[in-house]
Copies of this chain bind each other. A is one copy, B any other.
């Protein structure tokens, strides 16, 4: 029991992602939810707060009030979780950072790189931690692959095939319910849909595993399903800072692809394969050509990665555990901050720097696509 307390902005009734964050935190009891602004309507907020066991006095009418009040309380929240639509992240995060409160914010961080850098600068100035919840990077297997790459197990990386197709928006007669509607609406999502929702995961996942940064890219962003106004299929040629090449692909109309984030990393001495829908397995192939399937829970997995596992091998962990792992490390860091023992080397969660990189990636893709699929340097 870390005895941390948190608040949430967003996460009203029926909101998938707010519910998921709460469950991920509950899983390890990393912190206790004590305050919230769960809805734009105060009554709904209070009603949701009651269901969640939150005192009415800490169910706020708006996030500005919440930031101020919680920042002022002696027993105020240790951190805030932001799970509102993307286009509001900036204002909410800014309010809490300025109130001196640490932030965990869903991805994509904000809607422009400029805003992202501004948040980064406030967080830095105020010595506040800021996590961007790229959930998939929390998997033990992702951390294990990162360690394999670092140790030189697959040599110099030569090409990376990364993709994240989904299929839920394939139907021109359906907008995918509440979740799909705001994503496909330029008013709420800005200039990108698929690329912001999925493409930033791809960019971040490759970075997490390989440490490679995109040096330049050439993006083809298409609006394919009749009636859509924003991109729903993005095929992007990439060059990384070490000279490696790659293709990043995201889509929302691929029937049969549920949530198919997949990484294939080819190095001079070996290959790594990973598939989000089977998240506990890493496939490693060395020069002998033998395909090795290594699972979370095996002795082979590096200690830095393995420590996040809760269950023995064969007892499956999933998506919530991945997010829980992020919160586990984030709250460990917060405990250390409170105890005065924090050190940046403790950080093993996606930081705001990665959130900034995601926005720059998106903006470069837009620039490339708007100019007829030309190379854009980052």
Contacts and interface: CB of A to CB of B under 8 A. Distances in A.
Given A291-B293, A294-B290, A320-B317, A255 B271 contact: yes
A15 to B, nearest CB: 13
A356 to B, nearest CB: 26
A222 B292 CA distance: 28
A6 interface: no
A10 interface: no
B312 A259 contact: yes
A259 B218 contact: no
A52 B19 CA distance: 23
A299 interface: yes
B266 A251 contact: yes
Interface in A296-336: 297-300, 310-321
A349 to B, nearest CB: 19
Nearest to A375: B373
A316 B316 contact: yes
Contacts of A292: 290-293
Contacts of A260: 314
Query: Interface on chain A toward B: helix, strand, loop, or mixed SS?
Result: loop
Contact of A220 (B171, B245, B286): B245
Contact of A27 (B23, B171, B251): B23
Identical subunits present? 4
Contacts of A314: 166, 257-260, 276-277
A163 B375 CA distance: 23
Contact of A315 (B165, B225, B318): B318
Interface in A355-378: 372-373, 375
A289 interface: yes
A120 to B, nearest CB: 29
A29 interface: yes
Contacts of A257: 271, 314
A167 to B, nearest CB: 7
A317 B315 contact: no
Given A1-B51, A154-B255, 4 more contacts: A19-B310, A225-B268, A276-B314, A315-B318
List 6 A-B pairs, minimum CB-CB distance, nearest first.
A258-B314, A259-B314, A256-B285, A316-B318, A291-B293, A318-B318
24 contacts: A1-B53, A26-B27, A158-B233, A159-B235, A159-B251, A165-B266, A167-B289, A235-B245, A255-B269, A255-B289, A256-B283, A256-B291, A257-B271, A258-B297, A258-B313, A259-B315, A290-B300, A291-B292, A311-B319, A318-B318, A320-B320, A320-B321, A372-B375, A373-B375
